[in-house]
Structure 1
Amino acid sequence: MSASAPSPDRDQPRPAQGYAGDVTPELAHRWWQSGEAVLVDIRTDAERDWVGFIPGAAALEWKHWPGMQVDADFGDKLRAIVPPGKKAVLLCRSGIRSIAAAKRATEVGIEAYNILEGFEGDPDEQGHRGGKGGWRMRGLPWRQT
């Protein structure tokens, strides 16, 4: 298989409980680029400012910094961003917060997917992120201010 061809296990959503499923960063990117899905970056504004952002992605905090309280209006705000009939692919730092956000999206009637690995991936042996998976490490579009 060539390096540019998606591998079968990374090219299909994985089943999940309480939301539509988990997808790889690459699959989320393809859905977003094809217009099948809206990419929603649920990280805090501070995370996007400090670590990097995805040009063209919708920015909607799931939790507000610094107290990390869930946005009680998240569902309504998400419905305003995701048109009827479109999927939502939700991105956080590591693919954990976006699970809870995908469950909330499902509760308000949106077909929602968690992006595995998130933006930065898992921490390495030294506790650093960015080298073990994630949107950024996979070479998908992002920028830093």
Structure 2
Amino acid sequence: MTEPVGEKGYAGDVTPEQAALWMASGEAVVVDIRSDAEREWVGYVPGAVAVPWKQWPGMVPNPAFDDGIRAAGEGKQKLVLLCRSGVRSIAAAKRATDLGFEAYNILEGFEGNADDQGHRGTIGGWRKRGLPWKQN
């Protein structure tokens, strides 16, 4: 397993489109680090592995995160980490890198940044870019 760690402490940032291409080709695993509640209510990426970084209520750290990352990354060259807006996934990518994986942050996350009215899902993000997703 290669471990290119840049100045950021993880392999780097990729666009949602790049992450989707890597996932489709089998080159990488998308790891959705959002809470179970976020995935259930907002939507999820089919085929992504769910390994919450923090859990609701209280957004407390997930004590099983390391084990989940190890399981998700077993036999895979790259992990691309997805959160709501591309912020929590930076910390998670750093941790996955510490565990020995080639880990990337997905820019914009699933919902993108908030617009002028404070709404997500209108500016960037996996969902807004028309990439595969589902909602329960």
TM range (shorter): over 0.9
Instruction: Tell me the SS of whatever aligns to 1:90.
Output: strand
Q: Structure 1 residue 38 and structure 2 residue 29: aligned?
A: yes
Instruction: Tell me the SS of whatever aligns to 1:27.
Output: helix
Q: Structure 1 residue 72 and structure 2 residue 67: aligned?
A: no
Which one of 41, 49, 59 corresponds to residue 40 of structure 2? 49
Instruction: Tell me the SS of whatever aligns to 1:133.
Output: coil
For residues 17 and 120 of structure 2, the distance between their equivalents in structure 1, rounded to whole angstroms, comes to: 18
For residues 93 and 7 of structure 2, the distance between their equivalents in structure 1, rounded to whole angstroms, comes to: 10
What residue in structure 2 maps to residue 116 of structure 1? 107
TM-score (norm 2): 0.92
For residues 109 and 25 of structure 1, the distance between their equivalents in structure 2, rounded to whole angstroms, comes to: 23
Q: Structure 1 residue 20 and structure 2 residue 19: aligned?
A: no
Contact 1:16 1:22 in 2 (8 A): no
Matches within 5 A, 1:63-102: 63-102=54-93
Contact 1:53 1:142 in 2 (8 A): yes
TM-score (norm 1): 0.87
Contact 1:90 1:102 in 2 (8 A): yes
> How many pairs align?
131
Contact 2:28 2:76 in 1 (8 A): no
Instruction: Tell me the SS of whatever aligns to 1:50.
Output: helix
1:35-57 CA distance string (max 9 Å, x none)? 01001111000001110111111
Structure 1 spans left out of the alignment, 5+ residues: 1-14
Structure 1 segments (4+ residues) deviating >2 Å = none
Q: Please say which structure displays the higher CA radius of gyration.
A: 1
Q: 1:91, CA displacement in angstroms?
A: 0.2
Cα distance change, pair 52–16 in 1 and its aligned pair in 2 (3 A):
farther
Contact 1:25 1:116 in 2 (8 A): yes
Q: Structure 1 residue 62 and structure 2 residue 53: aligned?
A: yes
For residues 41 and 69 of structure 2, the distance between their equivalents in structure 1, rounded to whole angstroms, comes to: 23
Cα distance change, pair 16–31 in 1 and its aligned pair in 2 (3 A):
farther
Query: Mean alpha-carbon deviation: is it higher for 91-100 or for 59-68?
Result: 59-68
| Relative contact order, higher structure (CA 8 A, sep 6+) | 2
* Identical aligned residues as a percent: 66
For residues 10 and 25 of structure 2, the distance between their equivalents in structure 1, rounded to whole angstroms, comes to: 22
